[in-house]
Amino acid sequence: MELQLTSVRARKILLEEKVVESPATTFRFRIGYPLEKNVFSVEFNFTLDNEEENYCLQTNYEAIFTTDEEIDEDFRNSSFPKVNAPAIAFPYFRAFISTITQQAGYNPAVLPSLNFVKLAEEMLLEGNKGE
């Protein structure tokens, strides 16, 4: 089955200047099914409380994927939606975070590379299949 990233978009952006007493970062992603028979989404939710520059950033970012075949249970249980799709979409999200913080007048927030194989395993252990 072939997988193609067809679009990305920010669904929520909240950047607020405020005093941050303790820095924090949260990152979660989930897989959304089905948008259509061969379309699904990867949604990134990210929060950054930056103590050095006193701002909070909350984002929800969505990547839409199409497949050349109908999405079935075998596909849902495979590594494509849990590992491959987030790994394909993450560089776009990472660039978005860096750009939005820099354009807002702050030092660019640079997200580290992520191991989506490990994240998928952790989600499975937590009972969250990414949906």
Residues whose CB falls within 8 Å of the CB of residue 42, separated by 6 or more in sequence, listed in order? 29, 30, 31, 32, 62, 63, 65, 81, 85, 86, 89
Whether the pLDDT of residue 5 is over 50: the answer is: yes
- Nearest CA to 58 out of 89, 101, 107 is that of 101
pLDDT at 87: 95
Q: What is the CATH number of the domain that holds 109?
A: 3.10.420.10
> Is 85 within a domain?
yes
Whether the pLDDT of residue 64 is over 50: the answer is: yes
Structural domain containing residue 50: 3-125
> Is 130 within a domain?
no
> Is 37 within a domain?
yes
Structurally, the chain folds into a number of domains equal to: 1
> Is 27 within a domain?
yes
> Is 131 within a domain?
no
> Is 82 within a domain?
yes
For tokens 């941050």, what's the residue?
Answer: 20
The DSSP bridge partners found for residue 61 are: 10, 44
pLDDT at 119: 85
Query: How distant, in Å, are the alpha carbons of 30, 40, 87 from that of 113?
Result: 18, 23, 9
| CA separation for the pair 44, 115 (Å, rounded) | 15
53 versus 124: the higher-pLDDT residue is: 53
| Token representation of residue 82 | 């849990």
Q: Are 56 and 15 in contact (CB under 8 A)?
A: yes
Whether the pLDDT of residue 6 is over 60: the answer is: yes
CB-based burial label for 42 (10 Å; 0-12, 13-18, 19+): buried
Whether the pLDDT of residue 128 is over 60: the answer is: no
pLDDT digits (tens, 9 = 90+) for 65-109: 999 999 999 999 898 998 999 999 999 999 999 999 999 999 999
pLDDT at 103: 97
pLDDT digits (tens, 9 = 90+) for 110-121: 999 999 998 888
| Backbone angles phi and psi of 90, in degrees to 5 | -60, -40
pLDDT at 131: 46
> Is 86 within a domain?
yes
